[in-house]
Amino acid sequence: MRIAVLCHASAGGSGVVATELGLKVAQAGHDVHFIGSNVPFRLAGQTGPRGPYFHQVGSYAYALFEQPFPELASTNTLVEVIREHNVDLTHAHYAIPHASSAIHAREITGSSRVITTLHGTDVTLVGLEPAFQHTTRDAIERSDQVTAVSHFLAQQTQDLFGVQRDIQVIHNFVDTDRFVRIHEPGVRLRFAQPDEAIVVHVSNFRGVKRTEDVVRVFARIASEIPARLLMIGDGPERARTFELAQQLGVIGRVHFLGSFPDVQTILGIADLFLLPSSQESFGLVALEAMSCEVPVVASNAGGIPEVVEHGVTGFTCPVGDVDGMADAALRVLRSEDVYRTMGAAARRAAVTRFHPSLILPQYLDAYTELAGRA
C-alpha cells in the first residue's frame, strides 16, 4: 500500500505515535510519505531512498492575509503527493487541521481514503474551542474511518460532539527494545548519587500536565528520603514550576533538562515516574516509563487507568491529590520489594499488552479494509 501521513512535527504524543507507526508500516514493506511543515521529531535521520519519505509543506505570506493557512498549504502538498505517488489512503493524526486537510485533498483528487486518529487534545481542548468546534465535528464525521487511542477518548468524542459513527479503539504502542532498563552505574551517576532516588516527569509543561503538582509531590518525597527530580520538556508553565521549586526549597534537587532528545536514557535510570495530569487521553510517556521497569504514580484522569493498573504497575490518585500521590510514591521508593515487583509488572504489561507486534496489525488491518473500499 501507498500511505500518506499528516502529523505534527513536535515531540508531543500525537507526533511521536504517528512517526513511530509510520516507521513500522514502512518496515513492513509499504510506501509511507510523511507530510508536514518540518521533519517530525522522531523521523530525523530515518528517511532514505527506500523510504519513508518526507514532503515539506510550503508557506506563503501575503499582506492581505493576517494569518497563515496551514490547512490549505497541507492540502495542496497532499494533493501533489497523492497524484505523484498514487497514494491509496491518508492517515491524519489529529482532527484539526490534518483530518480537514486530508478530506479536502480527497475531494480535490477523488481518491485516497482518509483514516483519522484522535489523540486527545484535538477533541478535548482544540476541538471544543468555538472557533473550531463545527470544523472538528465535520472532520470526524466525514473521515472514512476514525480511531482513538483509548476507550475513554472514543466515548468522550461521541459524548462531546454527538457523533454517532463507530470509533475503533487502537491503543498506542511502545518500542520495548528501545525503552529498557539501564543498569550501568555511570549513566545514573550523571544525574544522582547512588543513595538518591531518581524521580522523572516528561511533558510539554502545559496547564493540563499540572507540573506544579509534580514539584509539590517531589517536595514531600525529598523531605523523607534522598531524591532527585528530572523534569524533561518545555512549555508555558516552566517558569512557574521553576519558581515553585525555589519557594519549596528543592531547587537544588530539581533539574530542568529542557527538550531532552534522549528520553529513553532518562527513563531507563528512573526509579519513579510522575504524571499528575488533569487530562490524558492515554499517557504514552507513562507507558514508555513502564517499558523501562519504572513504576508510575499518576492521576486517574482520562485514559491513564487503561495504561497504569492501580496497585500493580503503579498507583493512580484523584487529580490534585498531592498528598495521596506523595504517599504512593514513598510507598514505592521506600520498599525494594514493592519497587521491584511493580517495575517487573510494568515491563510485563508493556510487552504483553502494548508491544508493536500487537498494535501494528490492527492498523494494517484498518488500512487494508479501507483501501479495499476505494
Asked if residue 60 has pLDDT above 90, the reply is no
Confidence of residue 72 (pLDDT cuts 50, 70, 90): confident
**pLDDT recorded at residue 86:** 95
In a domain, 204, yes or no: yes
Domain count, the chain: 2
- Scanning the structure block, which residue is given the C-alpha cell 517558569? 239
Confidence of residue 12 (pLDDT cuts 50, 70, 90): low
Range of the domain at 138: 2-173+355-373
Is the same domain home to 68 and 151? Answer: yes
In a domain, 179, yes or no: no
**pLDDT recorded at residue 64:** 53
**pLDDT recorded at residue 65:** 56
**pLDDT recorded at residue 352:** 98
Work out the average pLDDT over 226-241: 96
CA distance 290 to 351: 10
Burial grade of 110 (CB within 10 A; 0-12, 13-18, 19 or more): exposed
Burial grade of 107 (CB within 10 A; 0-12, 13-18, 19 or more): exposed
DSSP state of 3: E
In a domain, 310, yes or no: yes
Is the same domain home to 204 and 313? Answer: yes
Is the same domain home to 106 and 238? Answer: no
**pLDDT recorded at residue 127:** 56
Is the same domain home to 67 and 105? Answer: yes
Asked if residue 91 has pLDDT above 70, the reply is yes
Is the same domain home to 92 and 194? Answer: no
Confidence of residue 121 (pLDDT cuts 50, 70, 90): confident
CA distance 367 to 168: 13
Asked if residue 274 has pLDDT above 60, the reply is yes
Is the same domain home to 127 and 209? Answer: no
**pLDDT recorded at residue 75:** 94
Is the same domain home to 348 and 365? Answer: no
Is the same domain home to 311 and 284? Answer: yes
Report yes or no: 82 and 111 within 8 Å, Cβ to Cβ. yes
CA distance 323 to 329: 10
In a domain, 231, yes or no: yes
Query: Closest Cα to residue 264, out of 322, 339, 350, 330?
Result: 350
Confidence of residue 123 (pLDDT cuts 50, 70, 90): confident
Confidence of residue 47 (pLDDT cuts 50, 70, 90): confident
Work out the average pLDDT over 50-71: 73
Asked if residue 11 has pLDDT above 90, the reply is no
Residue 52: cis peptide before it, omega within 30 degrees of 0: yes
Is the same domain home to 78 and 169? Answer: yes
Work out the average pLDDT over 356-363: 97
Query: Closest Cα to residue 276, out of 362, 334, 211?
Result: 211
In a domain, 89, yes or no: yes
Work out the average pLDDT over 67-96: 90
Confidence of residue 354 (pLDDT cuts 50, 70, 90): very high
Is the same domain home to 8 and 117? Answer: yes
Is the same domain home to 154 and 99? Answer: yes
pLDDT digits (tens, 9 = 90+) for 276-334: 999 999 999 999 999 999 999 999 999 999 999 999 999 999 999 999 999 999 999 99
Cα 129 to Cα 29, 38, 71, 203, 295: the distances in Å are: 39, 25, 17, 22, 35
In a domain, 178, yes or no: no
Work out the average pLDDT over 340-364: 97
Q: What is the mean pLDDT of the chain?
A: 92
pLDDT digits (tens, 9 = 90+) for 192-226: 999 999 999 999 999 999 999 999 999 999 999 99
Q: CATH number, domain at 274?
A: 3.40.50.2000
In a domain, 180, yes or no: no
Q: Assign 119 to helix, strand or coil.
A: coil
Is the same domain home to 302 and 362? Answer: no
Report yes or no: 97 and 69 within 8 Å, Cβ to Cβ. no
